[in-house]
Structure 1
Amino acid sequence: MPLAGDRPVQFQNSTLYNVAGNMNLSHATNFGESGLDILFRAVSLDAMHNAAERPADPACHPGTRGAILDELDRWSSEQLSENPVLWLHGCAGIGKSAVAQQFAASCHDRGQLGGSFFFKRGSASRGNWRSVIPTLAYQLTVAFPQLGPVIQRAVETDRLVLGKAIRQQLEKFIVQPFRDAPTLGARPILVIDGLDECEDRGAQATLIRALIGILRSGDTPLHILICSRSEPHLREVFESPEHSTVCRGLEIRPDHAAYADIRQYLTQEFSRIYQTHSARGTVLEDGWPGEETTQKLVEMSSGTFIHASTVLRYIDDEYSHPAEQLAAVLNLDPASLTPLDDLYTQILSVIPDKSILLRILHAVRQTGCLDPEQIDIVLRMRRGTSRAVLRGLHAVVQVYPVRTIGYPKRVELLHASFGDFLVDSQRSFLFCVSGEDLHNTTVHDMASALSSGSLEPPDFR
């Protein structure tokens, strides 16, 4: 015990006393993790709009998607909105994720963003529903500190809540904190993108119904933007009569405005590519590639940004001449009903060894957690083979440098539509990777590599 007049110095979980000139450290007592510490362990760090591990997901190109973003801004500013849930939907590659990311960033800058979650098919942390509510709840505690103590108590009084169903998690982490916390002043906005990429279709519908349910009563002052493809099972839930008073839909279509935005996007990016490659000594004609060529690419895009962005990545290859890459794209059938599939086929066709290509792509598609060096080990290939092959696929896959701090090392498909293409034999034909023999071989090779100790267990986060 300290003597009278001695001043204790406080440390975390302990106290240092000066007793008659002797320094005595009282024993530290650890009462366990706080509720927010427990909640943080369930957070998917790479699911947020500004996550370091998502550099391949672009926001809208400057000057594009103005009408859609203006509509979202008007909706988000309605403090007493009749439709607090907005479903932004459209076909694959139309630009939903870019809009969602741009909108989330704008809300964040204005202090309105409560949290965001971007699903990604095949990801261990972003491919299912289990981390959605914890990730959103933790972000709410950061954006609106008044909610922090209430959410922390919710976890500390029932640590099992993290293993409970969606509705129970929403009640504990969202509804109850808003009911018990002081008035926030602003109406927080939640952004959920790529709902259709959640691996459990049943969970997709359950999450929608649960979110709409907590807003129907009016006790939870939130705006929620949900983005997805226009899948029939999702349309059935969103457009049901019982949800019409809470939710409204906004479809992104390949309309005139979309074509104009794509033209602007291509024009600006071609200017950048011209300057970059000219600085490297590559000779390009003045005004390359010209208005007529740009217009052809606009028409080939069918109004989807994924086609335009993939074309640009394919052309902007530092080891190839941009004019030759562009010529290969222009040689594709301009009247094709599947221009994106044609583009994917062209990109894959430049790899000379098709058997190695398919084995590598199957490993990437099936595991979603291996880096190129691990793929070499699993497939028993000479070190560096996977990187050499995947370098030619830079337009459709993300491959990080060998030593990259702050980013994942695994190989990632840049868009879900490319993964869909690879497993559909009616679309990819010779490049299909869904064959049973290929699957069994990869599983056997990976099991052998793990059991022999030649492969460390991969990071599935």
Structure 2
Amino acid sequence: MSRLFEGAHHINSVEVNITEVRGNYYESPPASDGALQLLQPHIAAGALHNSEDRCDAPKCHPETRTAVQENILGWAVHDAGSEGGSVKNVMWITGPAGTGKTAIAGSIAETCKERGILAGAFFFSSFSGDARRRSKRYLVPTLAYQLVRLECFRDVSREVELAIRQDPAIFEQRLEDQLETLILRPLRAWRHSVETPVPDPMVIIIDGLDECQAPRPETEGRAVPRRDEDEQLEILEALQQLVIHAAFPLRILLLSRPEPVIRRFFAHTIGFYHEIFLDDKYDPDSDIALFLRAKFAEIRLRNPAIPTSWPSEDVIRLLVKMASGQFIYVATVIRFVDGPSRNPQLLLKQVLETGMRSDPDSPNPLAPLDLLYTAIMNRSPDPRLLATWLAIIEADLEEGPYTSVSFIGWSVDVSPRSAFFWRALLCSYPGEADSLLENVSSLMAIPPRDDFNTEFHFYHRSFGEFLNSPRRCTSLYISNKMRDSLLQVRAVQVLKGNGPAFSLAATEEAVVFYTRFLQVFVARKVFCDAFVIPSLKADFLACDSSWWMQKLSEVPGVTYLGQNMTSGFLYPWLDSMHIYCNLFFCHSVCKHWRRGAERFARDNGRFVPGPLWLIHACVVRNHREILARMGRKDAYYRPWPSGLAIPYAKFGEDAESSPRSSRA
């Protein structure tokens, strides 16, 4: 059989070679698994096509998207469609939001694995609970990990292990260098030594490239933070350098939205890739109709009272028209109709009534989907409050997980972004969360109340984008100011009531809530702003500060310049309260909470911030505000110099440095 990179124009024996490499994944670790052990800590396991994180990921319904899949597989096997016999080793699948790109990628991955031609896959996701799935840092190690597990590349494993042992810092280097060291160089050495034919061709699948995000400024420490577009472009440029080498016997399938940076890259690299744009050419309407008929048949089977004529073909055609080629629309419709209310006919009627209000000439192609989102949210007993909750949750998901919050030398470990915490914080009375959220289960995954670890999860990124767009969300749009206002009110209610609206029965509940509450309080300035609002100031002054000092002393994971401190929680907490004080006078709320800290310190022999610490806090804060006004985006994330200790004093030890002697 002709080799992929040896200029062959005709490949006729495809099935023979596919049979030779069928079942190419190890059922158990190979004899030499050193490379696997070295790579494993640096991979994003959730980004694998068959990961637990993707157990409910969308795939193409049987007999749908067949034309697209046939085109992709034709290119993967023998580069069908190449002009003049030239081999194009990259295919870019693109299209608008909701056209089923990830479902296609998942189905192609399964098919390629069954045929023995899947070399590896990486599914980016910007809203996954696994932060590794949104970072380029884990892309190359994850692909290398899958490659060395292939039986046909058994000898590559030894080369990868040797490369890592020679350069253990390779995982911190540029993508181009990682690809050279972990993939290209081992393949080059292997091809020069191997006697068996190259298992040609095989495919690497990278889905959701547009969802790759740059690190948060406080975790990276860059003077000028990287943009998401910079990360995506680096991936594209590194892959381009990879595929031009004859030693690279693989093809790469990329799937993404047509974002500007990605479009510009491919516009300037004409000739080395195929492109498929998911539009009417591939007749999505027929596939959507087939999908709807199959799903409605399943609903009828579970509900024998529904007549077999439901829904009519006219309804199917209307739903197809409202979908406008977007599979996300019909997938959301089915989840809604097949919801927990067990009244599919009534729910479908509501969907159709919503669709009738859609303007077919609207310049917004997502108008039918937006109307559906709006209709589902309006079924809540308080749609505006629900929208505010969702805006808070969306902001938390968009913010991304982070392991600690650092400021002025102090670091607070962050607990998981659990749905349990947001239930406890946002509820004004027991059971409010269930009442508000029960009707939006078709739009988001809602963990049970006793699940302390799982976070809320939107089924599709378009829902978060809908919430953030005043043009699309219209009457339910919640501005940042409105969102922060609810956070302020709920935070003060928790402070004044010595805990959330419902009691925290289990010790684990209390640890999760109070740890996360401390982190959110000090990390989000919106809470700190609340005590200068006249309507909330009195509530702040009415809080039992001594009780809170005792409760927060149980929060683990507070450090000062890298050293664990049993009373370290006092410093980030009081810094939050001290934010509006100046060098000469403290705000009344700050004084109130400092008195509570002093009482706690006196009773427990703990350390409390002294006057020099307060002065340092003001100076550092003013410095950071100046940097921010100068346009430094990382101003509030710049760490306090490790060589500069911040003064503190044990209560009663030194009259001059005692907090009681300080007015600053």
| Structure of higher CA gyration radius | 2
Instruction: Show the 5 A alignment for 1:278-317.
Output: 278=304, 283-317=305-339
Are 1:410 and 2:432 matched, yes or no?
Answer: no
Indicate how the Cα distance of structure 1 residues 272 and 122 shifts in structure 2: closer, same or farther if over 3 A, else same: closer
Q: Which residue of 2 aligns with 1:104?
A: 109
Indicate how the Cα distance of structure 1 residues 61 and 434 shifts in structure 2: closer, same or farther if over 3 A, else same: farther
Are 1:266 and 2:292 matched, yes or no?
Answer: yes
Alignment partners' CA distance in 2, 1:382 and 1:161: 52
Q: Higher relative CO (CA 8 A, sep ≥ 6), structure 1 or 2?
A: 1
> Contact 2:358–2:371 (CA<8 Å) still a contact in 1?
no
Measured on the aligned residues, the alpha-carbon RMSD in Å equals 2.7
Identity %: 29
Are 1:203 and 2:217 matched, yes or no?
Answer: no
**What per-residue deviation string (whole Å, max 9, x for no partner) do you get for residues 94-130 of structure 1?**
1111111100111111111111111111441212211
**How far does residue 49 in structure 1 lie from its aligned partner after superposition?**
1.3
Indicate how the Cα distance of structure 1 residues 386 and 371 shifts in structure 2: closer, same or farther if over 3 A, else same: farther
Alignment partners' CA distance in 1, 2:34 and 2:469: 47
Structure 1 length as normaliser, TM-score?
A: 0.83
SS of equivalent to 1:386: helix
**What per-residue deviation string (whole Å, max 9, x for no partner) do you get for residues 34-70 of structure 1?**
5532321111111111111123321100000010000
2:480 paired residue among 420, 435, 442: 435
Are 1:162 and 2:232 matched, yes or no?
Answer: no
> Contact 1:75–1:81 (CA<8 Å) still a contact in 2?
no
Alignment partners' CA distance in 2, 1:432 and 1:152: 52
Q: Which residue of 2 aligns with 1:76?
A: 76
**What per-residue deviation string (whole Å, max 9, x for no partner) do you get for residues 320-360 of structure 1?**
41111111111122534311111111111111123542343
SS of equivalent to 1:114: strand
> Contact 2:89–2:273 (CA<8 Å) still a contact in 1?
yes
1:212 paired residue among 240, 252, 256: 240
Are 1:377 and 2:424 matched, yes or no?
Answer: yes
**How far does residue 364 in structure 1 lie from its aligned partner after superposition?**
2.5
Alignment partners' CA distance in 1, 2:233 and 2:48: 21
Alignment partners' CA distance in 2, 1:81 and 1:391: 55
**What per-residue deviation string (whole Å, max 9, x for no partner) do you get for residues 61-92 of structure 1?**
00000100001111111279611010000111
SS of equivalent to 1:250: strand
1:335 paired residue among 356, 359, 365: 359
Q: Which residue of 1 aligns with 2:274?
A: 248
Deviates more, 1:365-374 or 1:432-441: 432-441
> Contact 1:377–1:455 (CA<8 Å) still a contact in 2?
no
Indicate how the Cα distance of structure 1 residues 255 and 327 shifts in structure 2: closer, same or farther if over 3 A, else same: farther
Equivalent position amino acid for 1:389 in 2: L
Alignment partners' CA distance in 1, 2:359 and 2:428: 40
SS of equivalent to 1:77: helix
Deviates more, 1:248-257 or 1:385-394: 385-394
Alignment partners' CA distance in 2, 1:250 and 1:141: 30
Q: Which residue of 2 aligns with 1:129?
A: 136
Alignment partners' CA distance in 2, 1:318 and 1:255: 37
Indicate how the Cα distance of structure 1 residues 410 and 67 shifts in structure 2: closer, same or farther if over 3 A, else same: same
**How far does residue 269 in structure 1 lie from its aligned partner after superposition?**
0.6
> Contact 2:127–2:457 (CA<8 Å) still a contact in 1?
no
Alignment partners' CA distance in 1, 2:428 and 2:174: 44
Indicate how the Cα distance of structure 1 residues 384 and 160 shifts in structure 2: closer, same or farther if over 3 A, else same: farther
1:351 paired residue among 366, 371, 380: 380
**What per-residue deviation string (whole Å, max 9, x for no partner) do you get for residues 412-452 of structure 1?**
11111111111111111233345134247649955436676
**How far does residue 209 in structure 1 lie from its aligned partner after superposition?**
1.3
Q: Which residue of 2 aligns with 1:19?
A: none
Indicate how the Cα distance of structure 1 residues 167 and 386 shifts in structure 2: closer, same or farther if over 3 A, else same: farther
Indicate how the Cα distance of structure 1 residues 411 and 76 shifts in structure 2: closer, same or farther if over 3 A, else same: same
Indicate how the Cα distance of structure 1 residues 362 and 188 shifts in structure 2: closer, same or farther if over 3 A, else same: same
2:96 paired residue among 85, 91, 99: 91
> Contact 2:163–2:182 (CA<8 Å) still a contact in 1?
yes
Deviates more, 1:82-91 or 1:352-361: 352-361
> Contact 1:46–1:54 (CA<8 Å) still a contact in 2?
yes
**How far does residue 382 in structure 1 lie from its aligned partner after superposition?**
4.9
**What per-residue deviation string (whole Å, max 9, x for no partner) do you get for residues 239-291 of structure 1?**
21xx223212111113462100100100111111111122xxxx323411111
Equivalent position amino acid for 1:330 in 2: L
Alignment partners' CA distance in 2, 1:154 and 1:381: 57
Instruction: Show the 5 A alignment for 1:173-188.
Output: 173-181=182-190, 182=194, 184-188=198-202
Deviates more, 1:60-69 or 1:108-117: 108-117
Deviates more, 1:260-269 or 1:325-334: 325-334
> Contact 1:56–1:398 (CA<8 Å) still a contact in 2?
no
Structure 2 length as normaliser, TM-score?
A: 0.59
Instruction: Show the 5 A alignment for 1:18-97.
Output: 34-78=34-78, 82-97=87-102
Alignment partners' CA distance in 2, 1:456 and 1:343: 44
SS of equivalent to 2:132: coil
**How far does residue 160 in structure 1 lie from its aligned partner after superposition?**
0.8
SS of equivalent to 1:317: coil
Indicate how the Cα distance of structure 1 residues 254 and 433 shifts in structure 2: closer, same or farther if over 3 A, else same: farther
Equivalent position amino acid for 1:148 in 2: S
SS of equivalent to 1:390: helix
2:471 paired residue among 409, 426, 429: 426
1:239 paired residue among 253, 267, 287: 267
Equivalent position amino acid for 2:300 in 1: Y
> Contact 1:376–1:383 (CA<8 Å) still a contact in 2?
no
Q: Which residue of 1 aligns with 2:540?
A: none
Indicate how the Cα distance of structure 1 residues 321 and 86 shifts in structure 2: closer, same or farther if over 3 A, else same: same
SS of equivalent to 1:125: helix
Q: Which residue of 1 aligns with 2:441?
A: 394
> Contact 1:424–1:434 (CA<8 Å) still a contact in 2?
no
Alignment partners' CA distance in 2, 1:195 and 1:387: 35
> Contact 1:373–1:383 (CA<8 Å) still a contact in 2?
no
Equivalent position amino acid for 1:121 in 2: S
Alignment partners' CA distance in 2, 1:190 and 1:335: 41
1:145 paired residue among 109, 134, 154: 154
How many positions carry a matched residue from both structures?
Answer: 417
Equivalent position amino acid for 1:113 in 2: L
Are 1:189 and 2:234 matched, yes or no?
Answer: no
> Contact 1:189–1:223 (CA<8 Å) still a contact in 2?
yes
Indicate how the Cα distance of structure 1 residues 202 and 449 shifts in structure 2: closer, same or farther if over 3 A, else same: closer
Alignment partners' CA distance in 1, 2:144 and 2:233: 20
Indicate how the Cα distance of structure 1 residues 455 and 374 shifts in structure 2: closer, same or farther if over 3 A, else same: farther
Q: Which residue of 2 aligns with 1:13?
A: none
Alignment partners' CA distance in 2, 1:236 and 1:364: 33
> Contact 2:380–2:435 (CA<8 Å) still a contact in 1?
no
**What per-residue deviation string (whole Å, max 9, x for no partner) do you get for residues 139-189 of structure 1?**
111124332222222222111111112111111111112111236423331
